[in-house]
């Protein structure tokens, strides 16, 4: 039996910040006081520092354009996940609201067809806590420290760049899928 590897979706598999900024730029470009959002300048988890005209963050996450713009976070994400699938049982574990989760499932089915297991947690407030999922004995890869802290996974690894919302993490950290490949394959 393969060991379980739980993997977050947003900012772990896809570049959520870039997709969010792309949707914002598309939807708000004709608004007064619009300024182009630049993903590399985002410092706030809700992207409000770049996407200043958004009044409800969840509107962007459940907009169909979000998943049109959603791309893999690294150039080799697909290839590394495909290799990991030979060694681990890959399980996508993500929090969202119903429409967002439905779009995530469709995106995963199309872009990562070899991954069959998803745990999609409907959470209207999007509180970052995945303790509802039993990850005992598993490895868990996520970009949000509170998701990792709340998990009972045996091995917890923070994924991605250092931001204001994840800088307090003092555990294992990987910054790219190349680093994941180096540690797991």
Take residue 46 and report the two structure tokens written for it.
């809700």
In terms of Cβ atoms closer than 10 Å to its own Cβ (0-12, 13-18, 19+), residue 53 is: middle
CA–CA separation, 66 and 63 (whole Å): 6
* 8 A C-beta contact, residue 54 and residue 66: no
Q: Tell me: pLDDT of 46 over 80.
A: yes
Using left for φ > 0, alpha for ψ between -120 and 50, and beta otherwise, residue 171 falls in beta
The string of DSSP codes covering 25-72 is HHHHTTSTT-----GGG--STT-TTT-TT-S-HHHHHTSHHHHHH--B
- 127 pLDDT band, cuts 50/70/90, is confident
Q: Tell me: pLDDT of 126 over 70.
A: no
pTM beyond 0.85: the answer is: yes
CA–CA separation, 145 and 155 (whole Å): 13
Q: Would you state the pLDDT for residue 109?
A: 97
Q: Tell me: pLDDT of 20 over 90.
A: yes
- 145 pLDDT band, cuts 50/70/90, is very high
Between helix 77-87 and helix 177-184 the angle, nearest 10°, is: 20
pLDDT tens digit string along 105-124?
999 999 999 999 999 999 87
Chain centroid, CA 6 distance in Å? 12
């Amino acid at each position: 039996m393969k060991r379980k590897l739980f993997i977050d979706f947003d900012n772990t598999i896809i570049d959520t910040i870039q997709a969010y900024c792309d949707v914002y730029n598309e939807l708000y470009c004709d608004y007064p006081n619009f300024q182009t959002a630049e993903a590399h300048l985002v410092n706030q988890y809700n992207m409000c520092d770049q996407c200043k005209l958004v009044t409800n963050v969840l509107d962007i996450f459940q907009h169909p354009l979000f998943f049109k713009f959603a791309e893999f976070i690294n150039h080799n994400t697909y290839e590394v996940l495909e290799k990991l699938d030979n060694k681990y049982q890959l399980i996508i574990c993500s929090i969202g609201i119903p429409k967002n989760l439905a779009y995530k499932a469709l995106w995963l089915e199309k872009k990562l067809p070899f991954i069959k297991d998803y745990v999609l947690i409907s959470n209207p407030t999007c509180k970052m806590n995945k303790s509802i999922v039993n990850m005992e004995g598993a490895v868990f890869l996520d970009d949000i420290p509170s998701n990792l802290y709340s998990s009972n996974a045996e091995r917890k690894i923070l994924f991605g760049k250092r931001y204001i919302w994840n800088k307090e993490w003092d555990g294992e950290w990987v910054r790219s899928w190349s680093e994941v490949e180096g540690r797991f394959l």
